[in-house]
Amino acid sequence: MRLRSTRLGFDPQLVFCANHDRGEVEEIMIAAISLPRLMRIGAGASRELAPVLQQLGLKSPMIVTDKYLVSSGKVDALVEPLNAAAITARVFSDSGPDPTITSINAGLAFLRESEHDCVIGFGGGSPIDSSKAIAVLAVHGGKMPDYKTPHMQDTPGLPIIAIPTTAGTGSEATRFTIITDEVTDEKMLCPGTAYLPIAALVDFELTMTKPKRLTADTGIDSLTHAIEAYVSKRANPFSDSMALAAMRAIAPNLRRVMKDPGDRAAREALMIGATQAGIAFSNSSVALVHGMSRPIGAHFHVPHGLSNAMLLPAITAFSAPAALKRYAESARAMGIAPEAEGDQSSVARLLEELDSLNRDLDVPGPKAYGIDENKWMSLIPTMAKQAIASGSPANNPRVPTAEEIETLYKQVWRASA
Chain residues in the site for Fe ion (CB under 5 A): 221
Residue with Cβ nearer Fe ion (52 or 306) = 306
Q: In angstroms, what is the minimal distance from the CB of 290 to Fe ion?
A: 6
Q: In angstroms, what is the minimal distance from the CB of 234 to Fe ion?
A: 16
Q: How far apart are CA 345 and CA 327, in angstroms?
A: 11
**Nearest of 185, 217, 245 to residue 383 by alpha carbon:** 185
Q: In angstroms, what is the minimal distance from the CB of 304 to Fe ion?
A: 6
Residue with Cβ nearer Fe ion (96 or 219) = 219
Measured from the Cβ of residue 344, the count of other Cβ atoms closer than 10 Å reads 11
Which residues, at least 6 apart from 145, have a Cβ–Cβ distance to it below 8 Å? 101, 181, 188
- Angle, nearest 10°, between helix axes 264-282 and 237-259? 150
Q: In angstroms, what is the minimal distance from the CB of 178 to Fe ion?
A: 8
Q: What is the 3-state secondary structure (H, E, C) of 335-346?
A: CCCCCCCCHHHH
Task: Please identify the residue of the shown chain whose CB is closest to the bound Fe ion.
Answer: 221
Residue with Cβ nearer Fe ion (120 or 312) = 312
Residue with Cβ nearer Fe ion (61 or 303) = 303
Residue with Cβ nearer Fe ion (116 or 225) = 225
Q: How far apart are CA 5 and CA 327, in angstroms?
A: 26
Q: In angstroms, what is the minimal distance from the CB of 405 to Fe ion?
A: 18
Residue-by-residue DSSP string for 374-406: HHHHHHHHHHHHHHHHTSGGGGSSSPPPHHHHH
CA 11 to chain centre: 19
Q: In angstroms, what is the minimal distance from the CB of 170 to Fe ion?
A: 8
**Nearest of 115, 158, 117 to residue 135 by alpha carbon:** 158
Residue with Cβ nearer Fe ion (221 or 329) = 221
